[in-house]
Structure 1
Amino acid sequence: MEPLEQGISVFGYRDFLKSRGIPEDSIRLVWDAVALHTSIGIVEYKETEAALMNFGVGYDVVGKNFDFISAEARQQVIEAFPRNKFKHNILHAFLEGFKHKPETTYGTINADVCELLLPGYKRPNFCHHVLHSPWDE
Structure 2
Amino acid sequence: MHTTPGIPQHMHPVVALVTSGVEMDVLGLTYPEYSHEEREAVVHAHPRTPHFKEDIIQAFYDGIKHKPETTFGNVKADVLADKEPHFHRGNFRNVNRCSA
TM-score class, shorter = 0.7 to 0.9
Q: How far, CA to CA, are the matches of 1:111 and 1:120 in structure 2?
A: 12
Task: Please say if 1:63 is aligned against 2:28.
Answer: yes
The amino acid that maps onto 1:50 is: V
Aligned to 2:16, the other structure's residue is in SS state helix
Distance 1:101 1:90, change over 3 A: same
Task: Please say if 1:53 is aligned against 2:18.
Answer: yes
Residue aligning to 1:81:
46
TM superposition shift of 1:45? 3.1
Task: Please say if 1:91 is aligned against 2:64.
Answer: no
The ranges of structure 1 where at least 4 consecutive aligned residues each deviate by more than 4 angstroms after the TM superposition are: none
Q: How far, CA to CA, are the matches of 2:62 and 2:25 in structure 1?
A: 19
Number of equivalent positions = 98
Q: TM-score, normalised by structure 2?
A: 0.85
Give identity over the alignment, percent: 38
- Counterparts of 1:7-22 in structure 2 under 5 Å? none
What RMSD over aligned residues (CA atoms) do the two structures have, in Å?
A: 1.6
TM superposition shift of 1:112? 1.4
Q: How far, CA to CA, are the matches of 1:44 and 1:77 in structure 2?
A: 21
TM superposition shift of 1:109? 1.6
Bigger radius of gyration, 1 or 2?
1
Residue aligning to 2:4:
40
Residue aligning to 1:16:
none
Q: How far, CA to CA, are the matches of 1:132 and 1:98 in structure 2?
A: 26
Residue aligning to 2:67:
101
Task: Please say if 1:120 is aligned against 2:86.
Answer: yes
Aligned to 2:58, the other structure's residue is in SS state helix
Return 5+ residue gaps in structure 2 as ranges: none
Q: How far, CA to CA, are the matches of 1:51 and 1:80 in structure 2?
A: 21
Q: How far, CA to CA, are the matches of 1:105 and 1:74 in structure 2?
A: 31
Q: How far, CA to CA, are the matches of 2:99 and 2:82 in structure 1?
A: 27
